[in-house]
């Protein structure tokens, strides 16, 4: 396909724009912020790189590739399967693994080593010993959502001696660091065995409310829950109760419902919770930003030359095809 206009609406350095120009030398690559983006620019674009605001999706007239800069895909984008079936939709799955998995590991170790308590004590000049701590050697870790992020986290914790099981949509050969792979039907069976449950799931009909009162109750006494996927996967009131009762030793949330979490929400004050404002991914690590651009450049070439796309989204499932 001849590409004449590439519209970039995500942040990018000049080196990033140059990579996109090299992917489509005949095209004009236009960088525009979402705030100043015009309908005419959207209508003229053959390729759009970045998350076009959902309310402006109908303005796409000729785009044959919409390259999202997020790994997850919100429902309005999946509707393009009906309204713009000739448009290839790709996400940025594969870009976020290193950054988010390291965040997950850092939060988990913070909880296990009680570093959050010592940090709080520091502000009070309190020299207090909080007692025994735990580690990952021989710990059982259940990774729910064994995509790029989940697999990266599995490798990290396995290197520290953990025994890892993973859950994904289809069973298959376990990736590096994972001992066994199961489907969602096995979740209730595996939850009571896990010292750590790590969620890295997109938001779909199947994942909303996944960790409800019943499933949080199935979790092992004194276990940990980490969620970096979407806040809707966890019943926050039930999680709060599980933390307050001592059933769970701790939790780490980088995602909530809603976002931002209201200042008066009790989760802010829960001592055995580490709460971050959805910052584990985004562009906080340079490698993430670079990988998103690399995926976009590859997919632009695939569109031009008829090659295979990276992280092409299946409109029916909302996952990578």
- For residue 310, being part of any structural domain is answered with no
- For residue 155, being part of any structural domain is answered with yes
Question: Which of 168, 230, 304, 320 is flagged as catalytic?
Answer: 230
What pLDDT, on a 0 to 100 scale, did the predictor assign at position 316? 85
Tokens describing residue 105: 């590991």
- For residue 318, being part of any structural domain is answered with no
Do residue 203 and residue 218 come from a single domain? yes
Question: Which of 119, 130, 259, 284 is flagged as catalytic?
Answer: 259
Give the residue-averaged pLDDT of 270-297.
96
Question: Edge-to-edge, what's the strand order for the sheet holding 223-227?
Answer: 180-182, 163-167, 140-144, 196-199, 223-227, 248-253, 273-275
pLDDT tens-digit readout, 190-233: 999 999 999 999 998 899 999 999 999 999 999 999 999 999 99
Do residue 108 and residue 257 come from a single domain? yes
- For residue 295, being part of any structural domain is answered with yes
Q: Is 259 a catalytic residue?
A: yes
Give the residue-averaged pLDDT of 47-59.
97
Q: What are the phi and psi torsion angles at 317 (to 5°)? A: -100, -25
- For residue 77, being part of any structural domain is answered with yes
Q: Is 247 a catalytic residue?
A: no
Do residue 26 and residue 50 come from a single domain? yes
DSSP string, 162-216: -EEEEE-SS--S--TT-SEEE-GGGHHHHGGG-SEEEE-----TTTTT-B-HHHH
Total domain count, the chain? 2
- What span, in angstroms and rounded, lies between the C-alpha atoms of 3 and 317? 28
pLDDT band at 26 (very low <50, low <70, confident <90, very high): very high
What residues make up the domain containing 165?
A: 97-275
- What span, in angstroms and rounded, lies between the C-alpha atoms of 282 and 142? 25
What pLDDT, on a 0 to 100 scale, did the predictor assign at position 84? 94
What pLDDT, on a 0 to 100 scale, did the predictor assign at position 158? 98
CATH number at residue 147: 3.40.50.720
pLDDT tens-digit readout, 129-139: 999 999 999 99
Q: Is 278 a catalytic residue?
A: yes
Considering just the CA atoms, what is the radius of gyration of the chain in Å? Answer: 21
Asked if pLDDT for residue 321 goes beyond 90, the answer is: no
- For residue 312, being part of any structural domain is answered with no
Question: Which of 64, 278, 301, 312 is flagged as catalytic?
Answer: 278
- What span, in angstroms and rounded, lies between the C-alpha atoms of 76 and 69? 15
- For residue 313, being part of any structural domain is answered with no
């Amino acid at each position: 396909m001849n590409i004449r206009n590439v519209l970039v609406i995500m942040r990018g350095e000049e080196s990033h724009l140059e990579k996109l120009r090299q992917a489509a030398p005949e095209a004009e690559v236009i960088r525009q912020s979402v705030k100043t983006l015009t309908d005419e620019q959207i209508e003229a674009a053959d390729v759009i790189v970045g998350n076009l605001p959902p309310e402006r999706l109908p303005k796409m007239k000729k785009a044959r590739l919409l390259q999202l800069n997020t790994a997850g895909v919100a429902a309005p984008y999946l509707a393009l399967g009906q309204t713009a079936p000739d448009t290839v939709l790709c996400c940025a799955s594969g870009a976020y693994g290193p950054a988010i998995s390291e965040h997950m590991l850092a939060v988990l170790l913070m909880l296990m080593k009680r570093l959050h308590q010592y940090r709080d004590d520091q502000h009070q000049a309190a020299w207090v010993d909080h007692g025994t701590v735990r580690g990952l050697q021989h710990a059982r870790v259940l990774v729910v959502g064994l995509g790029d992020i989940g697999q990266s986290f599995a490798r990290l914790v396995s290197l520290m001696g953990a025994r890892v099981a993973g859950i994904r949509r289809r069973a298959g050969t376990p990736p590096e660091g994972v001992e066994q792979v199961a489907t969602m039907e096995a979740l209730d069976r595996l939850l009571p065995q896990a010292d750590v449950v790590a969620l890295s799931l997109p938001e779909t009909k199947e994942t909303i409310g996944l960790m409800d009162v019943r499933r949080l109750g199935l979790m092992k006494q004194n276990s940990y829950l980490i969620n970096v996927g979407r806040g809707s996967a966890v019943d926050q009131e039930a999680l709060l109760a599980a933390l307050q009762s001592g059933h769970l030793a701790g939790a780490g949330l980088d995602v909530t419902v809603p976002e931002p979490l209201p200042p008066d929400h009790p989760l802010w004050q829960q001592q055995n919770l580490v709460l971050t404002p959805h910052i584990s991914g985004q562009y906080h690590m340079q490698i993430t930003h670079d990988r998103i651009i690399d995926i976009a450049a590859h997919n632009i070439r695939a569109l031009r030359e008829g090659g295979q796309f990276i992280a092409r989204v299946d409109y029916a499932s909302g996952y990578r095809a």
